[in-house]
Structure 1
Amino acid sequence: MAVQQQHTTYLDFEKPLAELEKKIQELLAFSTEGVDLKGEVEKLETKAEAMRAEMFANLTRWQTAQVARHINRPFTLDYLQLIFTDFIELHGDRNFGDDHAIVGGPARLDGEPVMVIGHQKGRDTKEKVFRNFGMPNPEGYRKALRLMEMAERFRMPIVTFVDTPGAYPGIGAEERGQAEAIARNLREMARLTVPIVVVIAGEGGSGGALAIAVGDRILMLEHSIYSVISPEGCAAILWSDGTKGAQAADALKLTAADIKTLGVIDEIVPEPAGGAHRDHAGAAKLLHEAISRNLKELQGLPAEELIEERYQKFRKLSQFIE
């Protein structure tokens, strides 16, 4: 099934670009009525392209967070259709139920079998509710672990897509062991003997993200974010004012460039001009190359070396200043 590109939704800071692109569309409409406006359209398209490039090259951290949450941004199922083949979705944790906020199952990458697991958000209201806004319950993490253990048995590399505001904080989730489910995933992922490539594709929020993000290579899309808490949540705790999200975003240093500087991720994957939400196929092509390249580098390593390097990788994350 082909991925349907969504109608462009403009963010607040994109208003000048929206006005310019609207004018281009109006001129194109007039051109179809027998008036030749090709030259004018080309000038405006060149101007729009330059504006878009400059705008996205100088995003603030808060603007980056908005892009990472864009409703048209590709989700896990979009990447599954564009990068992988022969995907078979598997359901349930064999204990409580099936969590629709996490999807996963075996697929093929360049003809080779892999296990793909990722958070899944929704675009319209009905789908958002069905996917619980991309916030998994404990059964979601237990489903993910079941699939990882299956991958271990069949010697399949694992690729995960992280895109969640965080684990669901509801009473039911806590009663069913949310913290235990996340902690178990961290422990078990640390000692899997198959290669694991993690992609921070949108929002990497707190332990809800980390529960499927312990890997040998951590890739992060250019306009995604990764943080211990959302900017709004941080602002609510520090200043009792959730509207200070922009200030909190600066303090959290949550952009790909920030996280790469801190040594938390291994690679920043570039996005098409204007962000992945404008060009799903282009974003998938860039990501496909990065995932394939990293998996090939990892697959030649012995299991003991893979585990030891993964262990050392996460042991080195903390930075102390005296």
Structure 2
Amino acid sequence: MSPFLLTRTLPEDATDAALRADVLHGLTCTPKSLPPKWFYDARGSALFDEITTLPEYYPTRAEREILLARAPEIAAATGARTLIELGSGSSDKTRHLIDALTSLETYVPVDVSESALRGAANTLLADRPALGVHALIADFTGGLALPGTQGPRLVAFLGGTVGNLLPQERAAFLSSVRAMLSPGDALLLGTDLVKDEAVLVAAYDDAAGVTAAFNKNVLHVINRELGADFQADAFAHVAVWDRDNEWIEMRLRSRVAQTVKVQALDLAVDFERGEELRTEISAKFREEGVRRELAVAGLELTHWWTDARGRFALSLATAA
């Protein structure tokens, strides 16, 4: 195959249609909410990259530690000739895995951002010119048609992003991953672990205010794309730990009673003073819970690795 192929499985207007649908639903339901994928325009992605370097934000460093230490074991356990990465972004951490997969022939990064896919491919091919890269512009949460590739295949879903899905969404997602696996294929899953509440809250409410700017960026996205008139300073960033559900919630709390207009939707939205708009959940996990959720989806957990401080885990699962 050629070193780089790019396939679009999303219609050109799919992003705009999805944003409209999510904003209309989220701002008219009770309580109000928005999915976290709308943080990530160019500015939001840059802010998140900055977040990963902050002293309070441990997940990126912890996961990289595991990958550096365990990539040879992952390679030996899977023998993967194809690596499929869901929500690949810059593919930065994945390079440790790619370097260890000595039998790897094809890398299939999956992301909604064409620019991120092209940038990652250019960087990878500069170091691995013989590697086949078949990038997919796709939303992995909406079902995925993968290109024909050689097995064994390793599907990687890193960064703890699975925690951004509600439990029923996670169940559907894991079942969809199971459906794309053939005998001999495996799933590598990154999960942030339950830990001290103060550590968790600080990771989502840093002293420098970068996460607050990241959270409010969703308002700038809606203003720009849908002609809304959100005033970001009229909302406060809030991060709270939900003990019952064992997840962090990021919210935007209205500082005043206000009405926001969304021109493209012909929508006026009232906020009471103190009313909150949920913008993200980030579930934290325990090994037994991950094992159970994988089993329900028809996957068997075969390996479990954590960083030295037990903050984050990578798990390997195969079709049961």
- Kindly indicate which of the two structures has a greater share of residues assigned to helix: 1
Structure with max Cα Rg = 1
Instruction: Give the TM-score band, short-chain normalised.
Output: under 0.3
Greater relative contact order (CA < 8 Å, ≥ 6 in sequence): 2
TM-score with structure 1 length normalisation? 0.26
